[in-house]
Structure 1
Amino acid sequence: MFYGIDIGGTKTEIVAFDDEMQIRWRKRVATPVQDYELFLSTFSSLIDTADWATGAQGKIGIGMPGLMDRHTGELLSSNVPCLTGRRIVDDLIDRVSRPIAVDNDCCCFALSEAHTQQARQYPRIFGAIIGTGLGGGLVIDGQLYRGRNRMACEFGHLPLAAQFARRYQLAELACGCGLSGCVERYLSGPGLLGLHRHFSGKTVTMDALWEGYRQQEPQSVATITAWVDMLGGTLAQLQLILDVDAFVLGGGVSNVEAIYSLLPQAMTRYLFPGLEPAKILPAVHGATSGVRGAALLQAEPYALQS
């Protein structure tokens, strides 16, 4: 058994996969975000329950937001504050007495989606999550590329291109990461709704915004057109640097069907003449991809091809 665990700021989910990466058991609990000892005990209880339910001692892979210091192993986590400054991997291993693999949740998403029938033909896959935040992971020939500080592909914290700021008269917004002008503030789900307030002065839901776009309501069209332009330009920058074969999109905004025809057109405007944009693909495993990718951190090579 392989246990994939997704630790978020609201919930923690564990899914048990067999060696063919089929789901055999799952459970979801609230994440203790302020009490570290409660967090550790909740985690160990989940593993005990999973072992009992599956009749096995599964191998454990964890996906979570945040950055881990490559020298000390200490975590920086804004979503789960009690983990900040903690050597979480060592402490969890002490509790469950078995090896644990941990990676960023966006990297786990990318790893999962790179190992699907859809993506098998593409050796270079960039998984991009467009949801509450904006993050990504790069998989080359089936393996995650992590980089020197294990923070490769944090593209949500690239600065918004000056041409976009001028074109759409956008202020430089402070970001929770400590920087300012990060593309996450404009291109994530909340960023998209913020753009609509900027253009129209109105606060709407995501569903209402996209319905307005489908009905060709002028203010909704203006917002979506600008957002697609900026997101397409950002993906084009990534392609110019990485030259990936395909982008696989996850997160809530990725469920909007229209973006899969709009984004390649937008990307083309920012690529060299004659250069074909990378494929833009929807996630195969959807909301399950994060935990699946976490499980794959521990899986054998044959399982990675399922």
Structure 2
Amino acid sequence: MRIGIDLGGTKIEIVALEQVGDQVGGRTGDRAAGAVLARERIPTPRGDYDATVTAIRDLVAGVEARLGRRGTVGIGIPGAISPATGLVKNANSTWLIGRSFDRDLEVALGRPVRLANDANCFALSEAVDGAAVGASIVFGVILGTGVGGGIVVNERVLTGANAISGEWGHNPLPWPEDSERPGPACYCGRHGCIETFLSGPGLAADHQRITGIAMSAEDVVAAAAADDAAAEATLRRYEERLARALAHLVNMLDPDAIVLGGGLSGLQRLYDSVPRLWGRHIFSDHVATRLVPPVHGDSSGVRGAAWLWPPEQEGEREGGG
């Protein structure tokens, strides 16, 4: 049994997955799609570190008691463990920053845990048993309140020497037009980050800059569907910028598949328009990379956390139990 936990700013979700069969994508021996044995959500104890650790401990204990089984534990967080200090960094849930979260959880749970950035968990979920099954190199993109990403190679998360692999949103928008320079201010202290253009708030801000009309990203999408010319123009700018940003990524990583997640991943037109546009920027005579929607949607983060333990580490992953 594999237990995954998604620690968000407002909720903590836990899922227990069963491994069924021994094939994924027709490849014998790979991890298989997991049937959901249990699932639960509780509010996050915002601002309270000790209560957060306790809440996770109690969720795991409750699930294992109900199922009468012990499992591995993987956890996705909105941040990362610094290789330099062993402490949490870059976390939107600021009460985690500077804490030895993984070690404290291991003490509380009495076993080893695996911890990864939530975008990495999303990418892993879709690579293992989602939209990118069978792909060797997968990039998972989050297009939501912020813009992030995760890289998975042969069903393993690529963390990187600085634990920032996949932090795609804080690179500059590539091949900028004059009107895009220096770009909107980003909370990271720079201007023109991809996130400032391609997040939901970034799309809404772009529409307001051009039209003077304040609308949410969802309202812009709805207006475009209702034949609003200004909203349609905003979405066309968004698609062209997304195509440039992903082309830059393809030139560096050359993934087999790119899976979109986050609220804007539901915009179906992206999967047709962006591949039509990105070819002019990709340094190849043919583009085989697939752009696909997620299979597991909002559940990808918690499922990916459950898949953080590789299958060959049977003894360690269950703490010898």
Instruction: Give 2:263's aligned residue.
Output: 252
After TM superposition, give the deviation of residue 84 of structure 1 in Å.
0.7
- Give the 5 Å matches for 1:124-143: 124-143=137-156
2:131 and 2:294 in contact (8 A); partners too: no
1:206 is aligned, of 217, 222, 229, to 217
Deviation by residue 1:228-273 (Cα, 9 ceiling, x = unmatched): 1111100000001111111111111001111110110121231236
CA distance in 2, matches of 1:52, 1:269: 56
Residues matched between the structures, number: 301
Aligned to 2:66: 53
Identity rate of aligned residues, in percent? Answer: 37
Q: Summarize the alignment of residues 1-306 of structure 1 with structure 2, pairs less than 5 Å apart.
A: 1-20=1-20, 21-116=34-129, 118-161=131-174, 163-164=176-177, 166=178, 168-169=179-180, 172-272=183-283, 274-276=285-287, 278-300=289-311
Number of the residue aligned with 2:30: none
CA–CA distance in 2 between the matches of 1:117 and 1:62? 19
Contact 2:174/2:248 (CA < 8 Å) preserved in 1?
Answer: no
Letter in 2 for 1:187: L
**Gaps (5+ residues) in structure 2?**
21-33, 315-321
Q: What TM-score does the superposition give when structure 2 sets the normalisation length?
A: 0.88
Counterpart CA distance in 1 for 2:296 and 2:115 is 20
Partner of 2:141, secondary structure, is: strand
8 Å Cα contact 2:131/2:259 also seen in 1? no
Look up the SS of the partner of 1:115 in the other structure.
helix
Output one character per residue of 1:192-234: Cα deviation in whole Å (capped at 9) or x when no partner. Answer: 1111111111122333211222233221121111111111100
- Taking structure 1 as the reference length, the TM-score comes to 0.92
Q: From the superposition, tell whether residues 302 and 283 of structure 1 become closer, same or farther in structure 2 (CA, over 3 Å).
A: farther
Partner residue in 1 for 2:29: none
**Which moves more between the two structures, 143-152 or 21-30?**
143-152
Call closer, same or farther: CA 1:87–1:214 in 2, change over 3 Å: same
Alignment partners' CA distance in 1, 2:155 and 2:12: 26
Q: Is the CA contact 2:201–2:216 (under 8 Å) kept in the aligned structure 1?
A: no
- Structure 1 stretches of 5 or more lacking a match? none
Q: Give the CA deviation at 1:162.
A: 5.6
- Tell me if the contact between 1:9 and 1:79 (Cα under 8 Å) persists in the aligned partners: yes
| Structure 2 residue identity aligned to 1:4 | G
In structure 1, distance between residues paired with 2:111 and 2:144 = 33
